[in-house]
Structure 1
Amino acid sequence: MKVHAMRIPFALVAVLVAACSVPVAAQTATGTLDKVKAGGSIGVGYRDASLPFSYLGSNGQPTGFGWEICGLIVDEVRRATGLATLAVKTQAVTSQNRIPLLQNGTIDIECGSTTNNAERAKQVAFATNYFYTGTRFLVKAGSPVKSLADLKGRKVVSTTGTTNMLVMRKISREQNLDIDLFGAKDHAESALVVQSDRADAFAMDDILLYGIRANAANPAELAVVGEALQVEPYSIMLRRDDPVFKKLVDDTLAALIRTGEFERLYKKWFQSPIPPKGINLNAPMSKELLANLKALSDKPAE
């Protein structure tokens, strides 16, 4: 669905802000639920190639683990606002624009594969962590690259705007690996760079690499290698300073976990054949995720 501008009285807000001499960034006129109720719609951001969290299915529409969970959150928003009908305005987002689009109100919630870390938490809020992953490497099958040490002096690509770029830059510097690190616009382009021999490896969250490999024309031509460099949580992204909406999202996740629906969805997307090629990622829950299903923490990565 094409996104249209939401009819929100920004001009009125600007006048009130000016009259009170309060900076716009510090002003929270209404929360997300008020905004949704007033406009009759909610903006939902998705990724088009973050399999199995959020990606485009064969019908060209968003699908995936995170996408389904966000659909259940939207149902709770509909109930909380008392709206008979609630328009869902979908918006594709990238690693570079997902935070600005959330901050400026284009989207109200982002359902993808966003790492919850302390730096991003200065700009946005995060719901309860719902997945944990670590940076590994996608290479061509038969590549001499098997570990981080093998990347010394080699070309490595990662997606611009991701934490993986920062991790690789830091590790290369600390371990004197002299890695030639450069960015690509999205995960699909990063993978293509490796497939076309323009880079020796694609550094990214391991679960996304498994998804990219599964979705490749010939999965056997690619391999995921190396030990995870760090473990980081994924979380649904929200606007800051909106405790009412965050509570609704966190309560929805808690209910899904308590009823077993979260586990059912996990098995559907990580331990069963998934579209478009019916490949099973065979990715059981990590010990970190199992622990957080009890803790229900939104603790960011360091």
Structure 2
Amino acid sequence: MKKVGRFMGLFAALALLLVTMTACGSSKALSKQDVLKVDTNANTITWGVKADTKLFGLMNIKTSIDQGFEVDIAKALTKEILGKDGKAIFVPITSSTRVPLLRNGNIDAIIATMTITPERAKQVDFTRSYFNAGQSILVKKGSSIKSVKDLNKKGKVVIGVVGSNSVQNIGKFAPKAKLLQMSDYAQALTALKSGQGDALTTDNGILYGMSADNPGYVVVGGSFTQEPYGIAVNKGQTNFKNRINKALTAIEKDGTYNKILMKWFGNVQGFNYEEMKR
């Protein structure tokens, strides 16, 4: 039995080594591949988008079609890069799956409320910001929590999403609070509603979407960080990144960006359109 156990252990170790070597080989091959050229030939760009985040990326349960600000921006960028017949394909992602899916080549770019940070810039390359968000908190109406400072007390529980920059920030602004991390925003909101935490934290744009759907919950305290969103591409895809930046400038200049911004945020209470328009 001991020999069998040793054999199985050795087999498992060899299998893990093979998977690791294969993954490394795939990553190297991907970094050498010109994504812009491949997408141009296919006349298609595959975008990783949120499917659970109202206003930014949410799947319509009736039509199974992704809808939101980032979805429309991705469509506009696709047309600008590939022409009017260019096709945009959308793959639903979460904060924890977006980078692995990008690295594995399942998606060409991430446009999914991803904040530009130095740490993330070590893993991916970012375009310039397309949305200047700021972190805030969502609480139940009538809550004694009025700002992030009120959460910096022992016993307070803050709900966040695994892999998001927001949970790291709470550790800085409310270090005494306990963090409860969920896999996505839908689960995080459910946790808040069920009383598992005192507040839910993430970027204000996402929280305004939650508040619009749930009138019993409000965004309080204003923004306590600056969280610029960027489009992420794989390291080494400089041509692709530069082309996206050029397309972003074009849709800003011709008014497309502002039309999309107004479409999704124009009627959102508390959203400052004048500060965001370009």
TM-score (norm 1): 0.76
Instruction: Tell me what 1:195 maps to.
Output: 193
Encode CA deviations 1:130-181: one digit per residue, 9 max, x unaligned: 11122211111111111223211211110111000000112233xxxx2111
What is the identity, as a one-letter code, of the residue corresponding to 2:169?
A: V
**Does residue 126 of structure 1 match 2:114?**
no
What SS does structure 1 have at the residue aligned with 2:70? Answer: helix
Instruction: Tell me what 1:249 maps to.
Output: 244
What is the identity, as a one-letter code, of the residue corresponding to 1:36?
A: D
Cα deviation, residue 87, structure 1? 5.6
Change (3 A) 1:89 1:264: closer
Q: 2-side partners of 1:161 and 1:238: how far apart? A: 18
Note if contact 2:132-2:227 (Cα within 8 Å) is conserved in structure 1. yes
Instruction: Tell me what 1:14 maps to.
Output: none
Q: Percent identity?
A: 27
**Does residue 209 of structure 1 match 2:204?**
no
What SS does structure 1 have at the residue aligned with 2:48? Answer: strand
Encode CA deviations 1:29-69: one digit per residue, 9 max, x unaligned: 22112332565643221101222121123522111111111
Change (3 A) 1:124 1:140: same
Instruction: Tell me what 1:31 maps to.
Output: 34
Unaligned runs of 5+ in 1: 1-17, 273-279, 294-302
Note if contact 1:54-1:111 (Cα within 8 Å) is conserved in structure 2. no
Q: 2-side partners of 1:147 and 1:37: how far apart? A: 47
Matched length: 253
Cα deviation, residue 85, structure 1? 6.6
Superposed, which structure 2 residues align to 1:4-19 within 5 Å? Answer: none
**Does residue 59 of structure 1 match 2:63?**
yes
Q: 2-side partners of 1:283 and 1:129: how far apart? A: 18
What is the identity, as a one-letter code, of the residue corresponding to 1:75?
A: K
TM-score (norm 2): 0.82
Q: 1-side partners of 2:40 and 2:261: how far apart? A: 31
Q: 2-side partners of 1:166 and 1:148: how far apart? A: 14
Q: 1-side partners of 2:233 and 2:68: how far apart? A: 19
Change (3 A) 1:37 1:148: closer
Q: 2-side partners of 1:253 and 1:40: how far apart? A: 18
Note if contact 1:136-1:226 (Cα within 8 Å) is conserved in structure 2. yes
Note if contact 2:58-2:67 (Cα within 8 Å) is conserved in structure 1. yes
Note if contact 1:52-1:64 (Cα within 8 Å) is conserved in structure 2. yes
Note if contact 2:81-2:247 (Cα within 8 Å) is conserved in structure 1. no
What is the identity, as a one-letter code, of the residue corresponding to 1:209?
A: L
Instruction: Tell me what 1:103 maps to.
Output: 103
Note if contact 2:26-2:104 (Cα within 8 Å) is conserved in structure 1. no
Cα deviation, residue 267, structure 1? 1.1
Q: 2-side partners of 1:140 and 1:214: how far apart? A: 13
Cα deviation, residue 91, structure 1? 1.2
Q: 1-side partners of 2:46 and 2:173: how far apart? A: 37
Superposed, which structure 2 residues align to 1:1-302 within 5 Å? Answer: 25=27, 28-37=31-40, 41-57=44-60, 58-79=62-83, 88-151=88-151, 152-153=153-154, 154-173=156-175, 178-216=176-214, 219=215, 221-272=216-267, 280-281=268-269, 283-285=271-273, 287=275, 289=276, 293=278
What is the identity, as a one-letter code, of the residue corresponding to 1:144?
A: S
CA RMSD in angstroms comes to 2.5
What SS does structure 1 have at the residue aligned with 2:58? Answer: strand
Cα deviation, residue 268, structure 1? 1.1
What is the identity, as a one-letter code, of the residue corresponding to 2:230?
A: S
Q: 2-side partners of 1:104 and 1:33: how far apart? A: 16
Change (3 A) 1:168 1:286: farther
Cα deviation, residue 126, structure 1? 1.4
Q: 2-side partners of 1:127 and 1:119: how far apart? A: 15
Q: 1-side partners of 2:115 and 2:265: how far apart? A: 18
